[in-house]
């Protein structure tokens, strides 16, 4: 039979984690707005210049990586608290080059 390790988490630590989770959920909501604005701005630049903005593309990739780290933390899949309690995460994946519109 499979042995399942059962352990109890102290309530105080659970409440502290809950407070951090609430903070990160608020930050995540702000990140969602930032992503929406960058998407609209990127498409405006693309329509006007017929080229994407490379700095904006890199910024949005870093924001996506940060959001991913927050999701992993709040869903109890990672113990390392994301930025601002630790360093801003490095890019998880490099952007795809070139972007196609098939």
DSSP character at residue 101: -
Which pTM was predicted?
Answer: 0.77
pLDDT at 2: 65
Q: How far apart are the first and last CA of the chain?
A: 51
Q: Token pair 């702000």 is at which residue?
A: 30
pLDDT at 43: 93
How far lies 9's CA from each of 45, 93, 99, in Å? 50, 34, 46
Low-confidence stretches of the chain (pLDDT < 70) are 1-3, 85, 92, 102
CA dist., res. 25 & res. 7, Å (int) = 26
Q: Please say whether the beta carbons of 63 and 28 come within 8 A.
A: no
């Amino acid at each position: 039979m499979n042995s399942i390790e059962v352990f109890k988490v102290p309530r105080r630590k659970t409440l502290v984690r809950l407070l951090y989770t609430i903070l990160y959920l608020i930050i995540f909501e702000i990140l969602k707005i930032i992503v929406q604005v960058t998407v609209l701005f990127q498409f405006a630049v693309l329509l006007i210049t017929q080229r994407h903005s490379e700095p904006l593309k890199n910024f949005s990739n870093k924001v996506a990586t940060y959001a991913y780290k927050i999701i992993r933390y709040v869903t109890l899949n990672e113990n390392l608290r994301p930025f601002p309690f630790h360093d801003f995460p490095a890019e998880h994946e490099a952007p795809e080059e070139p972007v196609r519109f098939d």
